[in-house]
Amino acid sequence: MKKKMSLPMQILIALILGIVVGLVCYFAGLGDFTKNYLKPFGDIFVNLLKFIVVPVVLLSMIDGILSMDDMRKVGSVGIKTVAYFMVTTAIACVIGLVFANIFNGAGLFPTLNPEEAVYEASEFSGFMSVLVGIFPTNMWKSFTDANMLQVIVIALFFGGSIMAAGEKAKLARDIVSSFYAVIEKLMEFIISLAPIGVFTYMAWVVATQGSKILVTLLLVIVCAYLGYIVHAVVVYSLSAKIFAGMNPLQFFKGAFAAMIFAFTSTSSAATLPVSKECAHELGAEDDIASFVLPLGSTINMDGTAIYQCVATVFIASCAGMHLTIGQMIIVVVTATLASIGTAGVSGAGMIMLAMVLEALGIPVSYIGLIVAVDRIFDMGRTCLNVTGDIACSLCVTKWESKKRS
């Protein structure tokens, strides 16, 4: 019997084919063809993922909490997860600033005309407003808006309440378990369509943005991607090695499918089903992965943090500003805290960048200098974010197993 090709291999082949087709279409002037006839198939796939994200987050987190069967374990896992994400995000900011200043100091950043910048930023109403907004007033609105922070809070409340109700909540437990089994089967089907989404999106991106990648902002993109790679290798693979005892090559091989999918979809929330499968294959406990991964897709934004630091130094340079050490510390603190409120959806990093620029007094409209190629930054930063989610699930699994032994 012929062995079926693995999903990671299918995704890799789809990625390569997408790049090849995209380059052919780019040089043939067929960018509109990929936009009108290839991208829609990628959009359909992403729509299916968005359709399943809310039930996956809700049911997987409730099921994960119930599987732990101990609110103290839920608290322990939550504290370890948030601590891991906060520390790695702060490190990401430092890495981003180091690379940005090396490139800027060497005069490698291109000088663009600020008058070309046009960007309207969404207003940030303050940390307390974000905190209040985490708690839902209407459960169904949280679901229809796909407000992932509110969905996570709902899952925590329901999971804890079902556990506290004991024997009387047996039916509720069975309903959650039954529905989650159905959602898992639906996930398997949608994930099997991933190569189609990767191929069509990659072909569209390369065909429509090839010139911009190769010309105006190449060095800024290279700077950000160097930060992404260093962070993935030094922080994530080493933490998996030190805390979970996993070989770095084994870690990246196991996380590959999720990384590639995140790279092309630019949505850590949409990548959740693939991330969960990769974490399971690498040895993360299902209940812990079901808790850590949805939380990570919302608050773990290390790639976004690196992007913000590189983009801030670049934009400041275009605006004729030289950032002081004090201002760089503000960037680190603001980017770290801002990452908690960043939704795991495509393009969310732009809003967070606007917050960082406002904190430094840099005109937010200057974001228009890089908005045209934001998707290229977004691909790398989302890939890094998802890699961190998987690494965290492995580390927390190991820490919790040590407590039991």
Would you state the pLDDT for residue 116? 47
Pick 57 or 294 by higher pLDDT. 294
Would you state the pLDDT for residue 45? 81
Average pLDDT over residues 257-281: 87
Q: Are 353 and 374 in contact (CB under 8 A)?
A: no
Would you state the pLDDT for residue 336? 66
Would you state the pLDDT for residue 369? 64
Q: Which tens digit of pLDDT belongs to each residue from 158-196?
A: 988 998 898 899 999 999 989 988 987 887 788 788 788
Average pLDDT over residues 218-224: 85
Residue 63 in this model has a pLDDT that exceeds 70:
yes
The DSSP call for residue 114 is G
Average pLDDT over residues 88-92: 89
Would you state the pLDDT for residue 255? 93
Q: Are 83 and 91 in contact (CB under 8 A)?
A: no
Residue 110 in this model has a pLDDT that exceeds 50:
yes
Q: Using CA atoms, how far apart are residues 358 and 123, in angstroms rounded to an integer?
A: 10
Would you state the pLDDT for residue 311? 85
For the question of whether the overall pTM of this predicted structure is more than 0.85, the answer is no
Residue 127 in this model has a pLDDT that exceeds 60:
no
Within 8 A by CB and 6+ apart from 142, the residues are: 136, 150, 151, 154
Would you state the pLDDT for residue 185? 84
Pick 5 or 130 by higher pLDDT. 5
Q: Give the CA distances from residue 101 to residues 81, 106, 312, in Å, rounded to whole numbers and listed in that order.
A: 30, 8, 11
Domains, the chain: 7-404 (1.10.3860.10)
Q: Using CA atoms, how far apart are residues 219 and 312, in angstroms rounded to an integer?
A: 14
**Mean pLDDT (the chain, rounded):** 80
Would you state the pLDDT for residue 349? 59
Would you state the pLDDT for residue 339? 58
Q: Which tens digit of pLDDT belongs to each residue from 322-358?
A: 778 877 877 777 666 655 544 444 445 565 676 677 6
Would you state the pLDDT for residue 109? 65
Would you state the pLDDT for residue 342? 47
Would you state the pLDDT for residue 108? 64
Residue 254 in this model has a pLDDT that exceeds 70:
yes
Q: Are 309 and 331 in contact (CB under 8 A)?
A: yes
Alpha carbon 267 to its chain's center:
6
- Segment holding 75, helix H or strand E: helix 71-105
